[in-house]
Structure formats: structure tokens, C-alpha cells
Amino acid sequence: MTFTSIVQADNAKQEALHDMHMIMRFLDHGLSVALEGADLQMLGEMGQSQKLDRDSIVYGTIMIKDGKALIKEMLEGKAMTALYKEGNFDKKFMDDLHKLGEKMLDVIEHVEKLHENALKQASEKQ
């Protein structure tokens, strides 16, 4: 019986570590998707392909929205809440992970603002 308890404790810690790693992967994926979307938007706005520009803008916009939503879900969703509650990681580590996700959202918003300003400046020069 003691052996089973120890194995279960190890499995719980391994499960928590796996969950943490998955959250990090999802955060990374959300950032990547959003930045790829911003790239597609910018390419579409350049107007170099009449056949694909609109699709590039539409799908780029969707990708930005979905990437941000994924990051927010990882920061505020059930998995993160459970990890905080289970207490397998110290609060500082969890808070640092949360800050990282918030900074990812800041990066996306910054890219969106740069894109908006670039479009504004380009239209003023025409």
C-alpha cells in the first residue's frame, strides 16, 4: 500500500509537470498563430495579389483573434486554475508563467498597433 501511495504521488507530480508543459506549448502556439496572422494581414494589405489579398486579410484576422483567445484561455481557463489550486508549483513560478502569457498578449497588441500605423502612413503617402 505504501508503494502505491508513493507511485500515485509521483504520477500526480508528473501529471502536473506535463500539464505545465502543455500550457507553455499552447501559449507558444497562440503567439505563433497570432504573429503569422499579422503577417498574412500585412501581406494582404500590400495589395500584390488580387486573387488572394482578401483571403490573406480575412484569415490573418481570424488567426490573430484565435491566437489571442488561446493565450487567454491558457491564462484564465480550467487548466491554469487547477494548477494554481493543486499547488505543485510555487506561486512565484506560476505568477511568472502568467506574466509571460500577458507579455505575449502585449507583443500581439504591439504588432497590431505597428501594423495599423504602417497602413495609416502608407495611405497618407499615396
- pLDDT: which is higher, 125 or 49: 49
- Total residue length of the chain: 126
Helix axes 91-124, 2-45, angle to 10 degrees: 10
At residue 15 the predicted structure's pLDDT band, cuts being 50, 70 and 90, is confident
pTM, rounded to two decimals: 0.85
2-11, 42-51, 67-76, 91-100: least confident range? 2-11
Residue 87's pLDDT is 86
Which H or E run contains 46? none
